[in-house]
Chain A
Amino acid sequence: AQTVTQSQPEMSVQEAETVTLSCTYDTSESDYYLFWYKQPPSRQMILVIRQEAYKQQNATENRFSVNFQKAAKSFSLKISDSQLGDAAMYFCAYRSASGSWGKLQFGAGTQVVVTP
Chain B
Amino acid sequence: KAGVTQTPRYLIKTRGQQVTLSCSPISGHRSVSWYQQTPGQGLQFLFEYFSETQRNKGNFPGRFSGRQFSNSRSEMNVSTLELGDSALYLCASSFGRDRTDTQYFGPGTRLTVL
Please report A residues at the B interface, Cβ cutoff 8 Å.
31, 33, 35, 37, 42-47, 50, 52, 91, 95, 97-98, 100-109
- CB distance A106 to B42 under 8 Å? yes
B31 touches A102 (CB 8 A): yes
Q: What residues of chain B lie closer than 8 Å to A44, measured between beta carbons?
A: 105-108
Given the known interface contacts A100-B56, A104-B45, A106-B43, the answer about A43 and B99 at a Cβ–Cβ threshold of 8 Å is no
A107 vs B44: C-alpha distance when bound (angstroms): 10
Q: Which of A91, A97, A101, A108 contacts B96 (CB 8 A)?
A: A101
**In the complex, which residues of chain A have a beta carbon less than 8 angstroms from the beta carbon of B43?**
91, 104, 106, 109
Closest to A101 in B: B101
Contact A43 B102 (CB under 8 A): no
**Interface residues of chain B: helix, strand, loop or mixed (majority):** strand
Quick one: closest A residue to B9, CB to CB?
A43
Judge whether B33 and A104 touch: CB under 8 Å: yes
Count residues of chain B with CB under 8 A from any CB of chain A: 29
Quick check: A102 and B42 within 8 Å, CB to CB? no
- Contact in complex: B45, A101 (CB < 8 Å): no
In B64-114, which residues have CB < 8 Å from any A CB?
Answer: 88, 90, 92, 94, 96, 98-108, 110
Contacts of A102 in B (CB 8 A): 31-33, 48, 50, 55-56, 92, 94, 96, 101, 103
Name the residue on A nearest B110 (C-beta): A43
B38 to chain A, nearest CB (A): 12
> What are the nearest 8 A-B pairs in CB distance?
A102-B48, A45-B105, A106-B43, A97-B99, A102-B33, A101-B101, A103-B56, A102-B31
- Residues on B with C-beta less than 8 A from A95 are 101
